[in-house]
Amino acid sequence: MRHRRCRIQYYDMDWKQCVMDLDGDLSELLQHEYDHLDGVLATMRAIDNRSFVIKKPRGWGGCKQAELF
């Protein structure tokens, strides 16, 4: 499980120290990407096999891929 909120500290292109507070999906995405820097894959964080089940979105009508765009 990931934190819904996080704070990152970083340096910008001019080496100015910056702070960014993130929440929701962006917070979880950043933590996911940060895990890759530590060599951690999503499969290593999975609780059980149900974590990998892909559900069809509501209203899925079996559209061809070309029709989705």
Domain spans in the chain, listed from the N-terminal domain onward: 5-68
Summarised one tens digit per residue, pLDDT across range 12-59 is: 999 999 999 999 989 988 888 888 888 877 666 666 666 556 666 666
Does the annotation mark 28 as catalytic? no
Catalytic residue among 21, 25, 33, 48: 33
Q: pLDDT at residue 69 above 80? A: no
3-class secondary structure per residue, the chain: CCCCEEEEEEECCCCCEEEEEEECHHHHHHHHHHHHHCCCCHHHHCCCHHHHCCCCCCCCCCCCHHHHC
